Amino acid sequence: MSNYPINDAEELAALFKALSNPHRLKIFIGLARCCRPGQACAPSMRACVGELGDGLGLAPSTISHHLKELRHAGLIHMKRAGQHVECWADPEALARLSEFFHFAGGDASELAAFAEAHDKTMGEQR
Amino acid sequence: MSNYPINDAEELAALFKALSNPHRLKIFIGLARCCRPGQACAPSMRACVGELGDGLGLAPSTISHHLKELRHAGLIHMKRAGQHVECWADPEALARLSEFFHFAGGDASELAAFAEAHDKTMGEQR
DNA sequence: TGGATAATTCGACATGTTTCGAAATATAGA
DNA sequence: TCTATATTTCGAAACATGTCGAATTATCCA
């Protein structure tokens, strides 16, 4: 985290904005599930627009709108396959996001313990 | 990514929403910079509201509003210290976000190469 | 070619967000 | 207590977002 280039903030915020809607996030998680080394987002694993809408209770036009947002953010890709349109997560975008938070991983629990101990003695604002 | 509990989507989306505004993201990055094992968010490292506004060109009331959003999302903590209010990033929230994207890290480049090769031959939608 | 299915675009509406300035509150220090 | 400084709350204005249904476009298959 300490060396992350701060001028990327605008671009990064756009990624977060795309994931800030619960419906869009669910769509993205659904796509990202099959997008990993080994399964490798093979065409057979990709979801089409209609499938992504199932269980979300949204109109097709709304799903389409959300997919467009995810695509413009560079989080997913789409390609026509006959009557359907295949969707899959962009592994590079996933990697970028992973990298951003990487610095906070690992020993963060140590830090959390410190902060908690501090708050107990000092009293935290509500 | 494959085993991430999808019912957390609402909660997770709220975290992303808090980071989806460039100004808020910059504030958060500024705070997260000092929030890591070793430096450990010591009180002397924490920023106050006024400092966070410097360089952002926003009215104090706007900074205050953004900090409230970050606090409600659980991304930062605030505590009054005399005339000032100290702010620091929540290391647990950082860890949660890190964990979410962890599954995409590592061999994602392999996957990216696969996707690119596929798009070149099949033609991707614009 | 014509009908069926899948997806997108468009227009509209309700709701939410970002921002400010003014007023209110909190704290330190003379 | 009074004043200066820091921060928050409030109200308002401009703008963006999420959603739908209707109309349009794309593709397959008979």
pLDDT digits 0-9 by tens, A54-85? 889 999 999 999 999 999 999 999 999 999 99
pLDDT at B64 over 70: yes
Does some domain include residue B1?
A: no
Q: Which of A25, A33, A84 to mutate to test the interface with B (most CBs of B within 10 A)?
A: A25
Q: What tokens does B105 get?
A: 């890290």
Through-space separation of residue A85 CA and nucleotide D26 C1' in angstroms: 11
Does some domain include residue A99?
A: yes
Range of the domain at B108: 6-122
Contact assignment for B98 to A94 by CB distance below 8 Å: no
A61 touches strand C (CB under 7 A): yes
The arithmetic mean of pLDDT across residues B17-43, rounded, is 77
Q: Please state whether A89 falls in left (phi above 0), alpha (psi between -120 and 50) or beta.
A: beta
- Above pLDDT 90, what percent of chain A? 41
Tell me if chain A has a CB within 8 Å of the CB of B55: no
Q: B36: Cβ–Cβ under 8 A, 6 or more apart, which residues? A: A1, A2, A103, A104, A111
Q: Tell me, what's the pLDDT at A104?
A: 45
Q: Are A43 and A81 in contact (CB under 8 A)?
A: yes
CATH number of the domain residue A78 falls in:
1.10.10.10
User: Could you give the number of structural domains in chain A?
Assistant: 1
Q: What tokens does B61 get?
A: 């009331």
Tell me if chain B has a CB within 8 Å of the CB of A19: yes
The arithmetic mean of pLDDT across residues B96-104, rounded, is 70
Does some domain include residue A41?
A: yes
- pLDDT confidence of A20, banded at 50, 70, 90? very high
Does some domain include residue A28?
A: yes
The arithmetic mean of pLDDT across residues A77-101, rounded, is 87
Classify residue A22 by burial, with Cβ atoms within 10 Å: 0-12, 13-18, 19+.
middle
Q: Tell me, what's the pLDDT at A70?
A: 97
Q: Tell me, what's the pLDDT at A103?
A: 53
Does some domain include residue A1?
A: no
Tell me if chain B has a CB within 8 Å of the CB of A72: no
A24-53 pLDDT tens trace: 999 998 888 765 532 335 666 678 888 888
Does some domain include residue A57?
A: yes
pLDDT at B61 over 80: yes
Tell me the pairing of strands B47-48 and B84-89.
antiparallel
Q: How far, in Å, CA of A29 to CA of B100, rounded? A: 10
Tell me if chain A has a CB within 8 Å of the CB of B68: no
- pLDDT confidence of B96, banded at 50, 70, 90? confident
Does some domain include residue A62?
A: yes
Does some domain include residue A63?
A: yes
Residue in B1, B90, B118 closest to A32 by CB? B1
pLDDT at B79 over 60: yes
- From chain B, the residues in CB contact with A122 under 8 A are 79
